[in-house]
Amino acid sequence: MSSLLIRPLTVEDLGEVATIEKLSFPSPWPSSAYATELTTNRLARYIGAWSSGDLVGFGGLWLMVDEAHITTMAVHPTQRRRGVGSALLLELLQESRRGGARVATLDVRVSNLAAQRMYASFGFAEVGRRIRYYDDNGEDALVMTTPELESSEQLAREAAVRLHVHNRSDGGLQTHA
Ligand X SMILES: CC(C)(COP(=O)(O)OP(=O)(O)OC[C@H]1O[C@@H](n2cnc3c(N)ncnc32)[C@H](O)[C@@H]1OP(=O)(O)O)[C@@H](O)C(=O)NCCC(=O)NCCS
Nearer to ligand X, 63 or 82 (CB): 82
> Which of 93, 108, 142, 144: binder of ligand X (CB under 6 A)?
108
Going residue by residue from 121 to 150, which x/- string records binding to ligand X, judged by CB under 6 A? x-----------------------------
Compute the least distance from the CB of residue 164 to ligand X, in Å.
6
Part of the chain binding ligand X (CB under 6 A), chosen from 9-17, 30-38, 80-88, 146-154: 80-88
Query: Cα–Cα distance between 113 and 153 in angstroms, integer?
Result: 24
Query: Cα–Cα distance between 41 and 64 in angstroms, integer?
Result: 12
As a residue count, the chain comes to 177
Q: Hey, which bits of 65-172 come out as E strands?
A: 67-75, 103-109, 125-130, 141-145
Residue nearest to ligand X (CB): 85
Q: 109: which residues sit within 8 A by CB, 6+ positions away? A: 115, 134, 139, 140, 141, 142
> Which of 17, 55, 61, 84: binder of ligand X (CB under 6 A)?
84
Can residue 4 be called a binding residue for ligand X (CB under 6 A)?
no
Q: Burial, 117: exposed, middle or buried (Cβ in 10 Å; 0-12, 13-18, 19+)?
A: exposed
**Contact residues: ligand X, CB under 6 A:** 24, 73-75, 80-86, 108, 112, 114-115, 117-118, 121
